Amino acid sequence: MSATEIQSPRSGQIGGKPESGKIAPKYRRNGSSRGNFEMLAWLFMRLSGVVLVVLIFGHLIVNLLVGEGIHAIDFGFVAGKWADPFWQFWDLAMLWLAMLHGTNGVRTIINDYAEKDSTRFWLKMVLYAASAVIIILGTLVIFTFNPCPVVDGVQLPGGFCPA
Amino acid sequence: MPTKPAGTLYRGREGMWSWVGHRITGVVIFFFLLVHVLDTSLVRVSPEAYTAVIGAYKNPLMALGETGLVAAIVFHAFNGLRIIAVDFWKKGAKYQRQMLWVVLGLWVVTMVAFAIRHLSLALGGH
């Protein structure tokens, strides 16, 4: 390799085998503290994205396109779905994957557009707090759902109570 | 004499506009998702509270809103699969432009079918 030849960032150390895939030290961007979090986030967006296409298209077809469509949706419709662990798991997976996918997307947007360090920090704190509340709330609702709610010994109207 | 810069591979072209579309639809979907988890959570308050609030989704204006939301979701889904192809398929970057037209074609077909079904159900007699 002649001295004037321009070295590609991925050609490894000088004199190294080209296309070795190793990144020359001066081109490495990830500081030791961040580890490969950003790479894992990038990979998560692709993996969760594929799964979400299936989960959300299924959700839309079952809730909006089958039978009476949106007119069928009421308390009884939700009760009927969540009586089945299959739909509980479906909705739980959709909740977690969509919220993490969306939160990471908005995190990227905040990093892109908020230039002041403190603005970026606080916007992300608000984002993370809102996401945590929604994920925890949604998870609790799916698992503590009661098709026949009773308050002070009286059944609430509209519930699905055994006769 | 300065000349107008030649076009680039990315700026102002399919690559950039698909990125803009992906961002905007992503943010719209995220904010709807926050609201949607909250409205669904009303099943935990009382059957009547849930049925009352979900009833707000069942009017003609909301039917158009739902169609717009689904249009955002379907674009984000198909374009997301295109991004995955660009990243992981050997020829993905070479064919990213053609794949965007495939995405838009499938998006139109899907949305025509969805709109016919959803709007006839939502606006139909009930």
Does residue B6 belong to any structural domain of this protein? Answer: no
Residues 5-44 of A with CB under 8 A from B: none
Q: Which amino acid belongs to residue B121?
A: L
Q: Residue A19: pLDDT above 60? A: no
Residues 72-91 of B with CB under 8 A from A: 73, 77, 80-81, 83-84, 87-88
Tens of pLDDT along chain B (126 residues) come to: 667 666 677 887 888 999 999 999 999 999 999 999 999 999 998 888 998 899 888 888 999 999 999 999 999 999 999 999 999 999 988 999 999 999 999 999 999 999 999 999 988 755
pLDDT for B56 = 83
Contact B77 A69 (CB under 8 A): no
Does residue B113 belong to any structural domain of this protein? Answer: yes
CATH number for the domain harbouring residue B21: 1.20.1300.10
Does residue A39 belong to any structural domain of this protein? Answer: yes
Q: Residue A3: pLDDT above 80? A: no
Into how many domains does chain A fold?
1
Judge if ipTM > 0.85.
yes
Preferred mutation among A44, A52, A56 to probe B, highest tally of B CBs within 10 A: A56
Q: Residue A28: pLDDT above 50? A: yes
Structural Rg of chain B based on CA atoms: 20
User: How far is it, in rounded angstroms, from Cα A144 to Cα B44?
Assistant: 8
Binding residue per annotation — B22? no
Does residue A6 belong to any structural domain of this protein? Answer: no
pLDDT for A1 = 45
Q: How many CA atoms lie within 13 A of A25 on its CB side?
A: 2
What percentage of chain A has pLDDT greater than the value 90? 57
User: How far is it, in rounded angstroms, from Cα B112 to Cα B60?
Assistant: 17
Does residue A80 belong to any structural domain of this protein? Answer: yes
pLDDT for B73 = 98
Does residue A152 belong to any structural domain of this protein? Answer: no
pLDDT for B126 = 53
The C-alpha of A158 sits at a distance from chain B's nearest C-alpha, in angstroms, of: 5
Q: Which amino acid belongs to residue A73?
A: I
CATH number for the domain harbouring residue A56: 1.20.1300.10
Does residue A137 belong to any structural domain of this protein? Answer: yes
> Which neighbouring-strand residues pair with A154?
A151
pLDDT tens digits, residue range A68-91? 888 889 898 999 899 899 999 999
Into how many domains does chain B fold?
1
User: How far is it, in rounded angstroms, from Cα B66 to Cα B101?
Assistant: 24
Cβ atoms of residues A139 and A95 within 8 Å: yes
pLDDT for B5 = 67
Range of the domain at A66: 34-146
pLDDT for A4 = 62
Higher-pLDDT residue of B58, A136:
A136
Q: How many CB pairs under 8 A join A and B?
A: 110
pTM beyond 0.80: the answer is yes
Range of the domain at B64: 14-123
Higher-pLDDT residue of A105, A23:
A105
Preferred mutation among A44, A45, A65, A70 to probe B, highest tally of B CBs within 10 A: A70
User: How far is it, in rounded angstroms, from Cα B33 to Cα B27?
Assistant: 10
CB neighbourhood size of A42 (10 A): 13
Does residue B4 belong to any structural domain of this protein? Answer: no
The C-alpha of B1 sits at a distance from chain A's nearest C-alpha, in angstroms, of: 31
Strands A150-151 and A154-155: antiparallel
A27 closest CA partner among A43, A6, A12, A15: A12
Does residue B18 belong to any structural domain of this protein? Answer: yes
Does residue B41 belong to any structural domain of this protein? Answer: yes
The C-alpha of A35 sits at a distance from chain B's nearest C-alpha, in angstroms, of: 21
Higher-pLDDT residue of A3, B73:
B73
Does residue A29 belong to any structural domain of this protein? Answer: no
B118 closest CA partner among B34, B36, B62: B62
Higher-pLDDT residue of B122, A109:
A109
End-to-end CA distance of chain A: 86
pLDDT for B7 = 66
